[in-house]
Every structure is written in structure tokens, then in C-alpha cells.
Amino acid sequence: MYYLTNLILKQFRNYESQYVEFNRGLNIFVGSNAQGKTNILEAIYYLSVTRSFRTRRDQELTQIGNQLFFLKGVFLKEEFYHVVQISYQRNSPLKILSNNEKVERFLHIQRFPVVVFSPDDLMIIRDSPAIRRRFLNLEISKFKGTYFQNLKEYQRVLLQRNRLLKENRYNSHLNKMLDPWDQALVNVGTKIIHDRIEMVEDLGKKAQFFFNQMYGEKANLTLNYRCSVGCFEQPDETRTKFHGALSEGRRIELKRGSTMYGPHLDDLKIAINGNNTRYYSSQGQKRAAALSLKMAEAMILKEKTGLNPVILLDDVFSEFDRVRKEYLLLFLKENGGQCFLTSAVDIDDLLKKTEKDYKVMAVEQGRIVSETGGLSC
């Protein structure tokens, strides 16, 4: 058993102060656009992983004119209550408390599994490789703490190696200076590559399953990890090829002043019936592919953590027909976890047909103005 029982928001986005209790199953926020529905999903996500799914700047989460915000929520996890408090103040370290004990940010991200889907997730499909790498990095970090640490170390080594390439290109001792950094880059980079390969293989199988249920078995969604040094089954093979690529490419790297091989340049190819979705898919297909990735992520988190992750769906129904909407609600129900979704249109008829236990909250101008449905707690 794992779900969020309640939430307090203070000076967060357009909420001055709000307290709300949740159903342990389905929770729906309804209202016109720009009223604050998505802001509640964002607060839940931030409470779980200490970052937003809409911006990389925490200052943007504060209410206009303020320099701070406060979030507090109570998770029920395996029969124990966890009171999580997050306090942000500009130019100060983020303060995270769990049952009044201070928690480091990189450890907190693994404690309360959550998956979010929003319209911005179409960027995973249509935008640059950096977006897809960021997606993989965050999802793997949710259940594998060593991955987050490896990423930090890789970025440190990469920065130092690039600095040497830029500042010492005419130094006769540069090769000796680079050798230890090459070895460090290869060692930690290989770990990152193989964690990603493992994740993509699992993600691909589960995303294909969900996509087939949505679109039928004639549609084939596939994922392939594209590695700048080549993809190999054994880490030793990857290390050898990685090291060889750095050695062979050193002359060109000196001219460019940057590292040309490694997981910082890799990509994730997403295809429908063999066609790269980035270039050859409709808006609806892109949306379905992105949603399939996120539902696959939820399945993986359930397997890895033993908990049904909290699922956040922002404006998920806008481009799906009724059949696909009903399947999605059925999938969420069978998945067994807690779900929060937003809708700008009335979905009462759909809910009455597919759901028996849900709570609907109407949002207006940064306030929850009405609630219907029960608290299944």
C-alpha cells in the first residue's frame, strides 16, 4: 500500500495557501485553463522527487512577488506514515524533512516513486537527443542511487577533460595529461551506458505492450539505444571500444576542444512501424508514444520498488477518442495505484462507466472551490 493522503501548498505558483485530502485511487482536478490544476500535480511531483516537471528553476515555482514556497504531504507507505516537508527560499539550500529528519536530495528521489505525463513530454519524441538522455537519467535515478552518483562523476570528469583539450592543445605533454582522465571517463561512462541499455530494453517491451493495447497489434512501437561508441552486450567490450574511440579521435577533439565520444552524446531512437517518430508520426502518435513510455516507466518502478507509483496525468484526454480514454482508465484501475489527472472538460459520464471510487475537485484561481466523491483511505 502506497499513496499520498493529503497535501499543503503555501506560496507555490498561484496558491497562497491550500490544504487538500486525496482518494487513494483516482483524483481528478477539473476547471478552465490557467486556474491551477497542473500546479497541484507539479507540487505532488516536487514533493516526491524535489524537482519540477515543467521548469529547472525552483524560483519559478514561487508565487509572484515571493522568494519562497512550502510543501507538506503525508505518504502512507507499507503501513507507515511519512510526513514530508520541503522548504525553498531563494539563495538558500533546499530543506527536505521526512518525519522531521533531514534528507539529502539524491536519496529522497528514490523514496516515493512517481510518474508524470504532461503535454511537454512530447518533447521526448520530437526534440533533441539531450531531452531523451535527460528522460533516461531521471527515470533510472528513481530506483538506482549509484546511477545518479555515476552521472555526477561523469560530468565532473568530462568537464575537466574538455578543459584540458581547450587550454592545452599546444602542450607537448597533453597526451600524458589526458590518459588518466580518459580512463576515468571510460570507467564511469561504461557504467552509465549499460544502465541505459538495460533500462531501454525493459522500457521498450513494456511500452510496446501498452501501445498495442491503445492502437492494436498492427502498430509496432520500438526503442533502440544509440551509443556513440557502439552498443555491446558486455561492459568489457564497451570499455575497449570507448577507449579506442577516444584515442583515435584525439586529434579531432583537440581541434574542437571537446570530447566527441561518450554517453553525453548518445540518443534513444523511438519508432512506430520502423519509422522514427521524431520525423514520421502524427501528433496523436507522438502523444501515444510518449504516454506509452511513461506507463512503461510506471510498470518498471512497480517491479523495482514493489510499490505502485503515484501517477500524474496532465491533460491526457485532449487528443484521445472515447475508446482510448476508457482503456487508459481501465489500465490505471488495474494497475492498482493512486492517480491524479487534470481535465478542462466534463468527464463525469466516462468516470461513471469505468470507475466506482474517485474524487473530483474543482479548481478556480488557485483555490479548490468544491469537492465531490469519497476519500477511500
Q: How many domains does the chain contain in total?
A: 2
Tell me the C-alpha distance between 32 and 373, whole Å: 20
Q: Which domain holds residue 178?
A: 123-306
**3-state DSSP call for residue 126?**
helix
pLDDT at position 72 is 98
Dihedral angle of Cα 88, 92, 97, 100, to the nearest 10 degrees: -110
pLDDT surpasses 80 at 24: yes
pLDDT surpasses 80 at 354: no
In a domain, 118, yes or no: no
pLDDT per residue over 167-190, tens digit each? 877 776 788 889 999 999 999 999
pLDDT at position 199 is 97
pLDDT at position 374 is 55
- Range name among 94-98, 238-242, 250-254 with the lowest pLDDT average: 250-254
Please tell me whether residues 88 and 213 are part of one structural domain.
Answer: no
- Range name among 58-67, 165-174, 287-296, 357-366 with the lowest pLDDT average: 165-174
Q: Find where cell 552498443 sits.
A: 231
Residues 6+ apart with CB under 8 A from 149: 106
**Mean predicted lDDT score pLDDT of the chain:** 92
In a domain, 267, yes or no: yes
Q: Within 10 Å of residue 187's Cβ, how many Cβ atoms?
A: 17
- Range name among 142-151, 243-252, 265-274, 340-349 with the lowest pLDDT average: 340-349
Percentage with pLDDT > 90 across the chain: 72
Higher-pLDDT residue of 218, 211: 211
Please tell me whether residues 185 and 271 are part of one structural domain.
Answer: yes
Q: Find where cell 595529461 sits.
A: 177
In a domain, 347, yes or no: yes
Residue type, 61: L
Please tell me whether residues 291 and 317 are part of one structural domain.
Answer: no
Residue 329, Cβ density class (10 Å: 0-12 exposed, 13-18 middle, ≥19 buried): buried
pLDDT at position 78 is 87
pLDDT surpasses 70 at 375: no
pLDDT per residue over 59-115, tens digit each? 999 999 899 999 999 999 989 999 999 999 999 999 999 999 999 887 888 899 999
pLDDT per residue over 122-146, tens digit each? 999 999 999 999 999 999 998 888 9
Please tell me whether residues 103 and 218 are part of one structural domain.
Answer: no
What DSSP letter does each residue of 43-61 carry, written as one string?
HHHHHHHSS-SS-S-GGGG
Tell me the C-alpha distance between 79 and 49, whole Å: 21
Last residue of a domain, one of 271, 286, 306: 306
Kindly report the pTM of this predicted structure: 0.90
Please tell me whether residues 320 and 271 are part of one structural domain.
Answer: no
In a domain, 91, yes or no: yes
Pairing of strands 95-98, 101-102: antiparallel
In a domain, 44, yes or no: yes
In a domain, 212, yes or no: yes
| CATH number of the domain enclosing 154 | 1.20.1050.90
Pairing of strands 358-364, 26-30: parallel
Percentage with pLDDT > 70 across the chain: 97
Q: Let me know how long the chain is.
A: 377
Tell me the C-alpha distance between 64 and 352, whole Å: 38
Please tell me whether residues 99 and 161 are part of one structural domain.
Answer: no
In a domain, 251, yes or no: yes
Tell me the C-alpha distance between 292 and 124, whole Å: 12
CA 207 to chain centre: 15
In a domain, 367, yes or no: yes
**3-state DSSP call for residue 16?**
strand
Higher-pLDDT residue of 220, 184: 184
Please tell me whether residues 318 and 289 are part of one structural domain.
Answer: no
